[in-house]
Amino acid sequence: MKDKDKGHTSSEDIDLNILGILSENSRENFNQIAIKLGNSPVTIKKHIEELEQKGIIKGYGVQIDFEKLGYDIIATIEVTVSKSKIIEVETDIAENPNVFGVYDITGDYDALVFARFKTRTELSEMIKKLHASPYVERTNTHLILNVIKEGSSFVDLLEKEKSSK
């Protein structure tokens, strides 16, 4: 995005464009990004390092098809916790390697947990362990039947934001 008055791309625009490129393919290197954005590799490297230092870029990874690895049971678990122990319980839940999301929520429950399992037995064991906690008052478990959308696109989010201006 060129700044019409100054004739250059703003630092924020460069950052957002870099994030868009990396969100689609985190394996892009400085040179490839520089070519796409019309900047020098040194500029791109500087921006990426700043984004990492600020914690905006938290890491780089791959998208894994968990179902192909046998983790085809996905559950959401609503949890009600004794009020003074919410963070403690959520932190304990988050340590379970099957869990891929723990959220504080509003409403009838205090936390929402997303987890993947290979077997119903693994899910059952986790639920029983939750109920064994003296601070968990109740749970409500839902099994995911079909995944329609998983994850989000930073590029689509940027496009939506740009179009609403």
> In terms of domains, do 30 and 95 share one?
no
Task: Look at residue 7 in the predicted model and tell me its pLDDT.
Answer: 47
Q: What angle do CA 68, 69, 70 make, to 5 degrees?
A: 90
97 within domain boundaries: yes
> In terms of domains, do 105 and 120 share one?
yes
Task: Look at residue 63 in the predicted model and tell me its pLDDT.
Answer: 87
Which CATH number fits the domain that encloses residue 18?
1.10.10.10
Judged by DSSP in three states, 4 sits in: coil
> In terms of domains, do 78 and 27 share one?
no
164 within domain boundaries: no
9 within domain boundaries: yes
162 within domain boundaries: no
Judged by DSSP in three states, 117 sits in: strand
> In terms of domains, do 76 and 102 share one?
yes
161 within domain boundaries: no
Report DSSP state, residue 135: T
Each residue's pLDDT expressed in tens, for the chain with a length of 165 residues: 443 444 457 889 999 999 999 999 999 999 999 999 999 999 999 999 999 999 999 999 888 999 999 999 999 999 999 979 999 999 999 999 999 999 999 999 999 999 999 999 999 999 999 999 999 999 999 999 999 998 888 888 888 888 887
User: How confident is the model over 41-70, as pLDDT tens digits?
Assistant: 999 999 999 999 999 999 998 889 999 999
- Cβ–Cβ < 8 Å for 75, 115: yes
148 within domain boundaries: no
> In terms of domains, do 36 and 76 share one?
no
- Expressed as residue numbers, the domain containing 107 is 66-143
163 within domain boundaries: no
Number of domain units in the chain: 2
30-37 and 41-53 are packed helices; what angle lies between their axes, rounded to 10 degrees?
Answer: 110
149 within domain boundaries: no
Whether this model's pTM surpasses 0.85: no
